[in-house]
Amino acid sequence: MAPDPPTPEKRDTGSLQKVLEVWVDSDSKVRLLVFFRQNPGVIETLEGLAQRLAIPVEQLTQEVRAHVEIGLLHSRDMAGGKTVYFFDRERWQELSDLLTAAIEKRGSGAAT
Partner 1 sequence: MIATKATPSREATGVQGLDAMLGGGVMPGDATLVAGSPGTGKTTLGLHFIAAGVAAKEPGVFVTFEYLPQQIYRDAAAKGFPLREWDDAGKVRVICTTPDVLLARSADGDSILDEAVRSIGARRVVIDSVVHFEFHHPDTRTLRNDMAGLLNHLRLLNVTTLLTHEVPQIIGPTVSISSWGLEFLVDNLILLRYVELEGAMQKAINVLKFRGGDHDRAYRALRTTSRGLVVEAGFTGVENISTGSARRELVDRVKDLI
Q: Where do contacts with partner 1 occur on this chain (CB under 8 A)?
A: 38-45, 48, 52, 76, 78-79, 82, 84, 89
Q: Shortest distance, CB of residue 43 to partner 1, whole angstroms?
A: 4
Pick between residue 12 and residue 44 the one whose CB is nearest to partner 1: 44
Residues 6+ apart with CB under 8 A from 37: 87, 92
User: Phi and psi at residue 76, in whole multiples of 5°?
Assistant: -145, 125
Nearer to partner 1, 40 or 56 (CB): 40
Q: Which DSSP state fits 76?
A: E
b/e per residue, 26-49, with b = 16+ CB within 10 A? eebbeebbebbeeeeeeebebeeb
Angle between helices 57-69 and 27-38 in degrees, nearest 10: 70
d(CA 42, CA 35): 9
52 or 65: whose CB is closer to partner 1?
A: 52
Nearest approach in angstroms of CB 108 to partner 1 is: 28
Q: How far is the CB of 50 from partner 1 (least distance, A)?
A: 15
Nearest to partner 1 of 24, 57 (CB atom): 57
Nearest distance from residue 100's CB to partner 1, in Å? 16
